[in-house]
Homo-oligomer: A and B are copies of this chain.
Amino acid sequence: MEEGHPQETCLRISQLLSRVGDKWVILVIRALQPEAKRFNALKREIGDISQKMLSATLRNLERDGFVRRTVTPVTPPMVEYALTDLGRELLCPVQALADWTASNADRIEAARAAYDSRGEDGAAATAA
């Protein structure tokens, strides 16, 4: 790891993290992990997602090279989405972060509860 342009590197990392945290990507790549899926199958499986967000998410993931879109020109048209090698590789560090989150969710929640109770407590005694 060279340290020539740390700011730029931070920017890239931040951007990728924003993408990965984009609210639907985790669900989408999780749904694509076992096997390729079609658009509406994906939509049904995820459930709450609107088709606008699903197509936007898939387009972003495809653009970044994490998902491959395959069109079979039959009628009605069939489109399949699958993770690429890059997408599967991305999953490793993301999975590590996911595992860490799952392991420490209670610590985070405890910190939040402590923070919130501190806030409501000594300070705003005049209000409410």
User: Closest approach, in angstroms, between the C-beta of A45 and any C-beta of chain B?
Assistant: 11
A12-B102, A21-B18 known; A65 vs B111 contact (CB < 8 Å): yes
A93:B97 contact, CB within 8 angstroms: yes
B97:A17 contact, CB within 8 angstroms: yes
- The residues in A between 87 and 128 inclusive whose CB is less than 8 angstroms from any CB of B are 89-90, 92-94, 96-102, 104-105, 107-108, 110-112, 114-116
User: Closest approach, in angstroms, between the C-beta of A48 and any C-beta of chain B?
Assistant: 10
A98:B65 contact, CB within 8 angstroms: no
Q: Tell me if A32 counts as interface (CB < 8 A to partner B).
A: no
B23:A98 contact, CB within 8 angstroms: no
The total of chain A residues at the interface (CB under 8 A) is 46
List the B side residues contacting A104 at CB < 8 Å. Answer: 86, 89-90
Q: Tell me if A74 counts as interface (CB < 8 A to partner B).
A: no
A13-B98, A97-B17 known; A86 vs B107 contact (CB < 8 Å): yes
Determine which residue in A18, A21, A96, A104 has the highest number of CB atoms from chain B within 10 A of its CB, and name it.
A21
Chain A residues in the interface with B (C-beta under 8 A): 1, 6, 9-10, 12-21, 23, 25-27, 30, 62-65, 86, 89-90, 92-94, 96-102, 104-105, 107-108, 110-112, 114-116
